[in-house]
Amino acid sequence: MILRYATNLKLAKELYDASKPKLQGDQGMSDTFTNVFGMPEKSVKLAGTIEAAAAGLFAVSFLSKTASRLGSLATISVLSVAAYKHFEAGHGKKGAQHALDLLGLATLSLFDTFDGKRK
């Protein structure tokens, strides 16, 4: 349980750091989304908003397993698309590694919330 909270805090920090340039309207980020990944420019703010919301949920995950689960599901939804787009753009595993690492941590955090005991 303590390990899950530590993992969730790491995820919160990493997701918050990743969301900042997207939410601040960084032109390089917009160019990457539109030119490299072939996504509409509005998806930059959407991805940043979901990442920031997931970071907030992970930060308060010590209050409830539900917050941890919602943060994990939001993270998995955004980062699975990010990893796919990196592979599609030809960046390979090296380009998608950060997204894959966080995706793995979010998946582990999600699985850790299920203890297998019915109440």
**pLDDT tens for residues 69-96?**
999 999 999 999 999 999 999 999 999 9
pLDDT of residue 101: 96
DSSP 8-state code for residue 32: I
| Position 119 confidence tier, pLDDT thresholds 50, 70, 90 | low
Q: What angle do CA 107, 112, 117 make, to 5 degrees?
A: 135
| Position 3 confidence tier, pLDDT thresholds 50, 70, 90 | confident
| Cα Rg of the chain, angstroms | 15
pLDDT in tens, 11-48: 999 999 999 999 999 999 999 999 999 999 999 999 99
Among residues 34, 5, 7, the alpha carbon closest in space to that of 22 is found at 34
| Side chain identity, residue 104 | G
